[in-house]
């Protein structure tokens, strides 16, 4: 799967080079599946994309750092929000309560991936059904690489993200 992802990434870079356009950190993509990625280095994938819900409403899906600016990236959030609004954990349309705390299907903590995606709290694939939006958002972790920071917090070693790639698909649900 990782080899196929690398081939797809290489073909995307070649296509962009042939078109004479540089890849942007924020791109518009209307087709599923959607690939979002965080990297301490570089990645051909965006951190944010526009999507259309099954009801035809446009939203922005963003992978954001949930760490203070300049700090180690130990947490990432997948945020669904209106295109003109800032992506924040507290305005996340993937959170049906608006006040979630702790690990959620749309939150990703580096420490949780120290043994790989399949052994994380939610496993390799997470599905979030949002009746109000009329859709299910399914996230599959394609690849994740975390490294220890050398710090210990609450008696456990801290980890940070080096690379994190997810594939997102959406499907309509009946309301």
pLDDT in tens, 68-103: 777 899 999 999 999 988 888 778 999 977 666 778
Listed in sequence order, the residues at least 6 apart from 25 whose beta carbon sits closer than 8 Å to its beta carbon are: 46, 47, 48
Give residue 13's pLDDT band: very low, low, confident or very high (50, 70, 90).
very low
Q: What is the mean pLDDT of residues 113-117?
A: 96
pTM above 0.85, yes or no: no
Task: Return the higher-pLDDT residue of 69 and 126.
Answer: 126
Is the per-residue pLDDT at 138 higher than 90? yes
From residue 133, alpha-carbon distances to 32, 48, 59, 129 in Å are 17, 19, 11, 9
Q: Map tokens 């580096």 to a residue.
A: 110
* Full set of structural domains in the chain with CATH: 25-172 (2.60.98)
pLDDT of residue 113: 97
Our separate counts of H helices and E strands in the chain read: 1, 9
Q: Is 144 exposed, middle or buried (0-12, 13-18, 19+ CB in 10 A)?
A: buried
**Minimum mean pLDDT among 2-11, 40-49, 112-121: which range?**
2-11
**Minimum mean pLDDT among 18-22, 42-46, 135-139: which range?**
18-22
Q: What are phi and psi of 83, to 5 degrees?
A: -55, -35
Residues in the chain: 175
pLDDT of residue 10: 43
């Amino acid at each position: 799967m990782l080899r196929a992802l690398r081939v797809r990434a290489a073909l995307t870079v070649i296509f962009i080079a042939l078109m004479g356009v540089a890849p942007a950190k924020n791109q518009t993509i209307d087709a599923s599946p959607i690939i979002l990625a965080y990297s301490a280095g570089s990645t051909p994938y965006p951190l944010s994309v526009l999507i259309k819900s099954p009801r035809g409403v446009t939203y922005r899906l963003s992978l954001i750092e949930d760490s203070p600016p300049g700090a180690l990236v130990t947490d990432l959030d997948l945020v669904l929000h209106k295109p003109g609004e800032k992506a924040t954990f507290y305005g996340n349309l993937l959170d049906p309560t608006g006040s979630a705390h702790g690990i959620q299907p749309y939150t990703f903590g580096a420490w949780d991936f120290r043994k790989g995606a399949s052994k994380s709290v939610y496993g390799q694939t997470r599905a979030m059904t949002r009746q109000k939006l009329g859709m299910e958002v399914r996230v599959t972790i394609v690849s994740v690489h975390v490294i220890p920071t050398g710090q210990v917090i609450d008696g456990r070693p801290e980890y940070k993200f080096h690379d994190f790639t997810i594939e997102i698909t959406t499907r309509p649900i009946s309301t």
